[in-house]
Amino acid sequence: MLKLKHCAGLVAAACAFPSHAVMNIQPDPDNAGGYVIAAADVAAVAQAKTANPMYALWSQALATRSNTVVDAIFPRDASNPDNVKRVERVFPESEWDFLTQMAAPEYSYLRFLRAVGKFPAFCGEYTDGRNADAICKKSIITAFAHFSQETGGHIAKENLSDNPQALEEWQQALVHVREMGWSEGQLGYTTGCGQDDWQNRKWPCATGQGYFGRGAKQLSYHFNYGAFSEVMFDGDASVLLNNPGLVADSWLNLASAIWFFLTPQAPKPAMLHVIDRTWVPSQCEQDAGIGYGFGTTINVINGGIECGEQNKTKGQPVNRIRYWEGLAAHYQIPVPSDEKNTCWQQTPYGSLNLNGATDVLYTNWDGNWKYYADRPGGYSFECELVGFQTAYSALVPGDYQKCVTNFYGSHAGWPKVRIVSELAPLPTDPTTPPVGGVPAWEAAKVYNAGDKVSHQGVTYQAKWWTQGDEPSKGGPWASVPAS
């Protein structure tokens, strides 16, 4: 995930906002015990929580073009999007052919260009002086190093009976479209399907479908198919949940890999931002040996199995590093002195303890369970950013509002919350003069425990948070004996 360069920078940014936002929370006139909040207030809270500019960069990296535009992309077409033209310039079809001589026919340069065209940030432009062409080339070569491990032939150059062209192993990418041993019609990778949890409610498995590895990145499991489908098909998870085979047999076989390349998964950064150095490692990550370089992309992909001292000589990371080094040498990719190709010296992200870290940004929303004395029942009526996957992403517009309404709606005993475009005016009080200098009750005003008001000649004291409750009706109000 992205962080500011200095811890103090993030702390200062956080201090620019109240510890919790001021919200006008009113009793719901249509739902006893429920509350309504104005959409503008909810949006303001979400904006305050994601005010760090890195959130905008994350969201921008995940922006997509319509599939209509993507389907119109062809090699050397003058109307191709700018990032596609950059790919054609720095990695022409002849280079694709050079690295895919063993590849399955389902992978093609056309499909590669369309996968690129879906995501403007991949091989996109930089306006701050960074070399976009160089970053593009390094991104592609990094991707191919991982393709060579995930879907490669892994045939030794000396094995001329199986490799008569004596191809380097880093020239053997994209051999497999489906995970070895699996084929359409098999129901593998359905672990968790049918359970009553948020993942199944959001991304329900389809009857008769298997979610084994498909495509250049070997996309696996229903929750990944569902999340990817939402990005590819305007929020519709059902397309790929119902037809996961599309990830093997269309340009989605390469788009799935680019999507992964661009997506941060807290606490892991997006691979693109490791390569283009938009990401700056937090102090916790630096202490864990995590910094710039190809090694960190291994940690992002499969750190729990391939990183750490115990995996120093393990086959998978050793292969990835070999492939990267061979490709980088062939394509003359500069490797700065502060970049490491290895991750054996890194703590895997899954084992990284970020408790108490103040310089880390998270990307998912979950309910805020904290107590707020100045709000009804002490409930927060908010969601907060967390460092684990949930149904709600801070990078998806509208997900914060869904988190608030769904979170409160799904907990027994908690008040229901409705988000409305505007709050209806609360009833006005036939105001009576203050009693003994105690101000008159105002229906629209929020009162906290201990606040005093006067109403119709009587003084009342609030027992707890209240708004809109007429004092003479009791409830949160208790009359104060005249002195």
Two structure tokens written together for 355:
């408790």
d(CA 5, CA 141): 27
* Residue 1: Cβ within 10 Å count: 22
The residue from 88, 95, 125, 150 that is catalytic is 150
Say if strands 458-462 and 452-455 run parallel, antiparallel, or are unpaired: antiparallel
Nearest CA to 260 out of 61, 54, 476 is that of: 61
193 and 202 in contact (C-beta within 8 Å)?
A: no
Query: In whole angstroms, what is the distance from residue 83 CA to residue 116 CA?
Result: 7
The question of whether 150 is a catalytic residue gets the answer yes
CA distance readout (Å), 449 to 161, 341, 352: 83, 59, 42
The token pair that represents 457 in the structure block: 């000649």
Token pair 């359905």: residue: 190
Task: Return the closest-CA partner of residue 282 out of 142, 394, 387, 388.
Answer: 387
Residues 122 and 49: their CA atoms lie apart, in Å, by 27
Which sequence positions are flagged as catalytic? 150
